Chain A
Amino acid sequence: MAEEIFRSENITKRYANHLALDEVSITVEKQSIFGLLGPNGAGKTSLIRIINQITAPDSGTAYFNGEPLSPEHIGRIGYLPEERGLYKKMKVGEQALYLARLKGLEKRVALQRLKEWFVKFEIEGWWNKKVEELSKGMQQKIQFIITVLHEPELLIFDEPFSGFDPINTDLIKNEILALRDRGTTIIFSTHNMESVEELCDHIALIDNSKKILDGKLKDIRASHRSNTYKIGFRGGFQNLKKGLNGHALISEENEDEVNKAKIKLADGSSLNTLLQALIPHVELEFCTEEIPSIRDIFIEQVSVNKGR
């Protein structure tokens, strides 16, 4: 197993009249992108704030690189909160420098790195602008730079793509992937399931203050296989039905040349048996497995949890 950078053990956090986190344990591996998912109000932000030491857990322990989390680690963690903003009246460069120095960067180093990032994002001209003159997307760019500037080992992004157009979303996505490839670990919280599938190596699902699902993205998807296949074929549905042989037809799409259907395999059978049964009756064009999306798994798990 790969080395861990962050681990929480049975963290519980209670606010005046509700339980925000209930015995939550997660382990984040080094140099991975960890998706922290869950419906609104599930407790994600509470967990993130504990990792950032903005609040402390009531019970349970958090570890950073194997050591109990302590204020020394603050400079090694970067955080882009969901509720984020900048001083409106302050100049962009001045402000970025200030926030970088609060993270413990030396002025000279901070200046040099800021210049590099400004060149990279082609925003050199913004240095002396006031923040209020920038659009929301522009401000988000600045915030992204500020978050990563001190080159933290662990980065926490809460909804990093909100407010970005598709071009800038891709720009940031690529930056995140590049950071991971250079050795940074990223905890990524979002409701945008597409980006989870694109980016995450590992996910944890929190609902109603409990962790209800945790694992590698590909393992989770594999374990949620529903043995359903989509096929394209020539020949009518009459013929197809003749060949089903115990497999269940879930949906049918009538089209001019190639019809499409979703079929769930009968228990204990394999794709081969389905195909063998179908081939005598219709002419197959294609066949793909219907892999559940993270979105489907999310919805399914949360509704199951509700029923519990």
Chain B
Amino acid sequence: MGKIPLIIQREYLTRVTKKSFLVMSLLGPLLIAGMMSLVVWMGMAENENQKLIVVDDLNPAFSTLKSKGTQRIQFVYTDLSLDDAKAKLLESDFTGILYLPENVLNAKSAQLFFKKHPSSFVLRSIEKKVEGIVESLNLVQFGIDKEDFYKVKSTVTLHPILYSKSGEKQDDTKEKAYVGFAFGLVIYMFIFLYGVQVMRGVIEEKTSRIVEVIISSVKPFELMMGKIVGVALVGLTQIAIWVALTFGIMMIGQTAIYESNFGVDKVTEQMTPEMAKQLEAANAFNTKELIDENNIIFRIQWPQMIGWFLFFFLGGYLLYSALFAAIGSAVDSETDTQQFMLPVTMPLVFAYVMSIFIIENPEGPAAFWLSIIPFTSPIVMMVRVAMGNVQAWEMALSCTLLVGTFVFTVWLSGRIYRTGILMYGKKVSYKELWKWLWY
């Protein structure tokens, strides 16, 4: 008949051309990217230039702590006593005192007096500097060769590896579960946002009294499905824009931040040759980790993940938005929706909350059942899919139930809808809704 496409088109275009859609589309990624860069930026911007008085009880052991020019952290090596330095600190532009007590080589601890709390980034870089000097002094003191030392010095990392019949596998379920959780969260958010939009749309048609004009041309069911599908497309468009923009903004942001903060000359200028060597090694290690095929980004199977995401997003959305449409049809205004909203939103919120626990216990019965039951599966199953421990039959069962249930809720809602949209000025009860099913 070609009328559903017409309805879909209208529902889609009126929403996509709204200013609020444009604002959301731009603001969403900006917010995400903004928050991410804020975290990075705060770590960097916080470390205002530091100018420190170095008080060294082992004078001149730490005399290499001297810097020229303008660096972020300026060390001014002195032969003051701590008390004199303290007196000087308050009446000068120094930001702090680095105090290296006599026992620093044994106790391996120093003190930093400050006027304003420095960032952890600053603390860590001072720590590293002092550590390096303490290390080399101790090497000399105990007569240990530098090369021997680096052979002996060890940092141990523990890699948990899952062993099962199919062989060994790196145990990264938790990392993957977080990725899955993020997908589930997006589904949860969008079902809510767009389900409510469907409901609002139905209420709008009802209160503006246009609905009777329309259903003299199309069947109520066609109108309902047109709206549901149209809004779904709006949701998918929004997701696509967000993904594209977020990636775009992050790429630009990353480059900008990297260039302004890690300009090569700035860093190397103040380094001793061996420090430079160390840094180089560390850098090499970092890049190696990034392109490591074991990195979380490479261990997630993206095509599969995105495929299931679309399936569960659409399935869950259809299931819930049909119910939201039915609610919209049964009431006269948005304020009357509350009594019907609760039973619809409860399983959704429940699934969201439970998926946090499921990250901790992905093999338990809760994870299994909630990923099978269609009202919770769209969110919970995403966590399990990401972890990759779903059996084929479980997936088949979950999908079949989800499809079956959304067909059922769409049918159910269609029956409530066709009666509801023509009912005005009536306080509707559940008993009433039950009757409508059988008209």
Residues of chain A whose beta carbon lies under 8 Å from any beta carbon of chain B: 15-16, 49, 52-54, 74-75, 77, 79-81, 83-90, 98-99, 101-104, 143, 146
Contacts and interface: CB of A to CB of B under 8 A. Distances in A.
B212 A83 contact: yes
A16 to B, nearest CB: 5
Contacts of A77: 216
Of B204, B213, B214, B215, chain A has the most CB atoms within 10 Å of the CB of B213
A81 B213 contact: yes
Interface string B210-221: 101111111000
A77 B215 CA distance: 12
Given A81-B213, A86-B213, A102-B6, 9 more contacts: A16-B439, A54-B212, A77-B216, A85-B209, A85-B210, A88-B208, A98-B10, A102-B214, A102-B218
A146 B213 contact: yes
B210 A86 contact: yes
Interface string B200-236: 0000110011101111111000000000000000000
Contacts of B204: 87-88
- Going nearest first, the 9 A-B pairs with the smallest beta carbon separation are A85-B209, A85-B208, A81-B212, A79-B216, A102-B217, A52-B216, A83-B209, A85-B210, A103-B217
B408 interface: no
Given A16-B435, A54-B422, A89-B14, A99 B208 contact: no
B11 to A, nearest CB: 11
Nearest to A82: B212
Of A49, A87, A89, A143, chain B has the most CB atoms within 10 Å of the CB of A87
Of B3, B212, B218, chain A has the most CB atoms within 10 Å of the CB of B212
B208 A86 contact: yes
Contacts of B10: 98
A74 B213 contact: no
Nearest to B7: A102
Contacts of B209: 81, 83-85
A79 B435 contact: no
28 contacts: A16-B435, A16-B439, A49-B422, A52-B216, A54-B215, A54-B216, A54-B422, A74-B216, A79-B212, A79-B213, A79-B216, A81-B212, A81-B213, A81-B216, A83-B212, A83-B424, A84-B213, A85-B208, A85-B210, A86-B208, A87-B14, A87-B204, A87-B205, A88-B208, A99-B217, A101-B6, A102-B6, A103-B217
Interface in B382-439: 422, 424, 435, 439
A16 B3 CA distance: 31
B435 to A, nearest CB: 5
Interface string B1-25: 0010011001000100000000000
Nearest to B205: A87
Nearest to B212: A81
Nearest to B219: A71
A98 B11 CA distance: 11
A214 to B, nearest CB: 25
Contacts of B216: 52-54, 74, 77, 79, 81
A151 to B, nearest CB: 14
A87 B215 CA distance: 14
Contacts of A74: 216-217
A280 B218 CA distance: 71
Contacts of B212: 54, 79, 81, 83-84
A152 B167 CA distance: 73
A98 B14 CA distance: 12
